[in-house]
Structure 1
Amino acid sequence: MPAPAPVPALESDQPDFTAVPERAKWRYKPRKAFWRSRLVRAVALITVLALCALAILALVREQTGTEGFLVGLGLAVLPVPLLMAAFRWLDRVEPAPWKNLLFALAWGAFASTLVAILANSFAVEWISSATADPGSADTLGATAVAPVVEETAKGAAVLLLFLFRRRDFTGPVDGLVYAGFTATGFAFTENILYLGNAFGEDQEFGAAGLGSITVGTFFVRIIMSPFAHPLFTSLTGLGFGFAALLPVTARARRTRLVLLPLGGLLLAMGMHALWNGSATFHPLAFLLVYGMFMVPVFALLTWLAIWSRQKELRTISGELPAYASAGWLAHDEPLALSSMRARALARGYAARSFGKPGAQAVGEYEAFATTLAFLRHRARRGQAAPDFTAREQELLHHLWQRRQVASPALTHAARVTGRVWVPPQYLDYGGYNPYRS
C-alpha cells in the first residue's frame, strides 16, 4: 500500500491557495475540449432520454389504453418515494449528486424499459415463429431472454456512471445506490404496463373499478416484491462498487473493468431468471423461491449495505485525524464527523445559534470534510488522481471558509455524544501530570 500524501502545513491564520479561484468559481475545473464539455453532454443526454420517454410512454399507452395507463400510473408511483428514500438514507455519509441519481432513475424508467420491451417482443416473436409454439415462446422469453436483456439495459446506467462520473463512484454503497435508483425507475414503468393491462382485463370481464386481477397484480408487484428489480440490479452495482476499491495497476485494472462487473451482472441475470421462472411454472414454486431465496438474499444485501456505510464512517475517523494534527480541524471533529447522530446534532446546534444559514454552513462543512477523507483514502490505496493536490487545497479552502461556525458546532456535538478525543496518558500537562506516579 503506497504511503499517504503529506498533509499541507497550516503555516498562517489565513491560507493563501493560489490554485483556488474566486468564490463564484471555487469548483476545480480542468480545461476540456468543447465536445467534452458538460453542457454539450447534458444537452445530448437529456435529448436522448426525452425521446426514449416519449417512445416508451406511447408504447405503454398503446398497450394499456388511456384509462388503463392512468390507473397503472397512479398505482405504480406508490412505492417509488419509499424506495428512493431508502436508497438515499443508505447514501447519507457521502451523498451522491442528485443529477447522477436523476439520470439513473430516468435511464431506468425510459431508456432501459424501451430497450427491454422492443428486444423482448422481437425475441418472443422470433422464438414463436421458429418453434411454432407461442406458449413455450412466452415461457422461454420470460425465463431466458428477459433477464439478460433487462439486466444489461439497467446495468448500462451503472456502467456510464462508473466511466463518466468516476469521482462520485467510490465504493459498494455508490454502486448499490445507483443500481437501486435505476431499477426503481425500471420497475415504475414496468408496473404501469402490468397494472394497466390488468385493469383492462378487469374491464373486459365487466368489473366496476379495480377488479380482482388488478388487485392481485398490485399485491404481488407493489406489496410483496417492490424490491425485486432493485435487488437484481444491486448485484451489478456491487460488482462495479467493489471494482472501484481496487488499486490502479495493470493487473487490477483488467479485473476491475471486466471480471467484477461481469460477475455481478451474471448474478443479477441468474437471480432474475430464477424469479421469473418460479412465477411462470407454478404458484407454489414462486412462494418457495420468494421465502427461501429472495428474502434471505435481500436480508444479506441489506446487511452488506449497512456494513459498507459503517465502513465509510470508519474511513472518515481514520483519515481526518491527519488534518487535525496539522491544525486544519479540531481534535474532536473527526470523531463527530464519523457519527451520523453527531452530525445531526451539530447542524441543530448551528441552527439554534445562527439560524438556517448556520445549519447550511455546517452541512456543507460535513460534506466537504467527508469528501476530503475519501480523497485521501483513495490516494492511500494508490488511486490518487493527477489533480489530487488541487482538489485537496480546494476542499481545505471550503472548510476554512466555514470553520468559524462549523468547528464549535461539531466540537459541541462530539462532547454531547461522548465522541471526544482523549489525550495519551504520557503527555506532560504544563508541568502537572496526574498519571505520573
Structure 2
Amino acid sequence: MELLLLAIAPAFIVILYIYFKDKFEKEPVSFLFKNFILGATASILLTVVLGTIAAKLIPLTNETSVVQQFLKAFIVVALVEEFSKYVIVRFYAQRNKEFNEPFDGIVYAVMVSMGFAALENVLYVFQYGVSTGITRAFTAVPAHATFAILMGYFMGKAKFSKNRVALNISGLLLATLFHGAYDFFLFINFIPGISIGAFVSLIIGIILSKKAIKKHQERSLFKG
C-alpha cells in the first residue's frame, strides 16, 4: 500500500494543482476521471503498440551511439508517448461540450498525462522500489505534467480557432520536442555531465508552462 501511494501521489498532486488553477469554471469531476482512466489505459496500450512498431522500424543496437539515442528519445519514446496522449485529448476531450474554454486544453491534457504517468510510476516503483519512486516524484512526473501543459495550451487555443489542425499539431510537436530533449540528455549519460541538460530542459519547460497557465487564465471565457 505504501508503494502504491508513493507511486500515485505525485500525479494527484499535479492534478489538484491544475484543478485549482482552473479558477473560473471547474470541470466535472466525472469527466476528469474518465480522461484520467483513458490516459492510464488507452494511451498506455497505444504507446505499447506504437512503441513496438517504432522500435522495429528504427533498430537501436548501439547504446553508445548518440544518433541512435537521439532517434530513441525523440521518436521511439517522445513522439510515441505524446501522440498516444494527444489522441485521447483530440478525439475524446476536445470534442466534448465540457471543453468550453481554452484553459480546458491544459486541464484535460494534464488529466490524460497524469493517468499515463500514474500507471507508469506504479510499474517503476513496484519494480525498483522506494528510491525510484522518490526520484520520479521530482523528475518524471513533473516532466509529464510540463509536456501536457505545453500540449494543452495549444489544444485549448485550437478548439476556438479556425487554425485548429495547425494549433493541435503544434501542441503535439512542442510536447514531443521537450519530452525528447529531456530523455535524450538522460539516454546519453555515457557522456560525463551531459544529463544536466535534461534538468535544464525541464526547468525551461516549467517556466513556459507557468506562462501558458497564466495566459489561458487571463483569456478565460468565464472570467468576470
TM-score normalized with structure 1 length: 0.46
- Give the equivalent residue in structure 2 for 1:105: 36
> Matches of 2:212 and 2:81 in 1, distance apart?
24
- 1:306 is matched with which residue? 214
Q: CA deviation at 1:223?
A: 2.3
Are positions 1:272 and 2:179 aligned together? Answer: yes
Which residue, 150, 169, 177 being the options, matches 2:107? 177
In the alignment, is residue 241 of structure 1 matched against residue 171 of structure 2?
A: no
Match in the other structure for 2:80: 149
- Aligned equivalent of 2:170, options 263, 284, 294: 263
Deviation at 1:232, TM superposition (A): 1.0
CA contact (8 A) 1:179 1:237 kept: yes
CA distance in 1, matches of 2:68, 2:199: 22
| 1:296 partnered with 2:196 | no
The CA deviation at 1:295 is: 1.4
- Matches of residues 8-27 of structure 1 in structure 2 within 5 Å? none
Q: How does 1:330-369 map to 2 (within 5 A)?
A: 338=224
Q: 1:279 to 1:193 in 2, by over 3 A?
A: same
Q: Aligned in 2, Cα 1:288/1:198: closer, same or farther, shift over 3 Å?
A: same
Q: After superposition, what is the alpha-carbon deviation per residue over 1:198-228, rounded to whole angstroms, capped at 9, x for unaligned?
A: 24xxxxxxxxxxxxxx51x234311234211
Q: Where in structure 2 are the equivalents of 1:38-49 lying within 5 Å? A: none
Tell me, in whole angstroms, the C-alpha distance in 2 between the residues paired with 1:301 and 1:259.
20
Separation (CA, whole Å) in 1 of partners of 2:112 and 2:170: 19
Change (3 A) 1:288 1:96: same
In structure 2, do the counterparts of structure 1 residues 260 and 144 end up closer, same or farther at CA, with 3 Å as the change threshold? same
**Aligned to 1:226, which of 141, 150, 167?**
141
Give distance in 1, aligned partners of 2:197 and 2:48.
Answer: 28
The answer for the alignment partner of 2:91 in structure 1 is: 160
1:22-53 deviations in Å (ceiling 9; x for gaps):
xxxxxxxxxxxxxxxxxxxxxxxxxxxxxxxx
The structure whose Rg is larger is 1
> Structure 1 residues 189, 316: CA separation in 2 closer, same or farther (over 3 Å shift)?
closer
> How many matched pairs?
219
* Equivalent residues of 2:54, 2:75 under 8 A apart: no
Contact 1:101/1:178 (<8 A) preserved: yes
How far apart, in 1, do the equivalents of 2:177 and 2:9 lie?
28
C-alpha deviation, 1:241, in angstroms: 0.8
Code of the aligned partner of 1:180: V
Which of 194, 215, 219 is 2:124 aligned to? Answer: 194
Q: Per the alignment, in what secondary structure is the counterpart of residue 108 of structure 1?
A: helix
C-alpha deviation, 1:119, in angstroms: 2.7
The answer to which structure, 1 or 2, has the higher relative contact order (CA under 8 A, 6+ apart) is 2
Distance in 1 separating the partners of 2:68 and 2:136: 19
**Alpha-carbon contact 1:279-1:286 (below 8 Å) kept:** yes
Calculate the aligned-residue CA RMSD, in Å: 2.6
Residue 398 of structure 1: aligned partner: none
Give 1:287 deviation, angstroms. Answer: 2.1
- Structure 1: tracts of 5 or more residues without a match: 1-69, 200-213, 247-251, 318-337, 339-437
Contact 2:182 2:197 in 1 (8 A): no
The range that moved more, 172-181 or 98-107, is 98-107
Which of 34, 51, 62 is the equivalent residue of 1:120?
A: 51
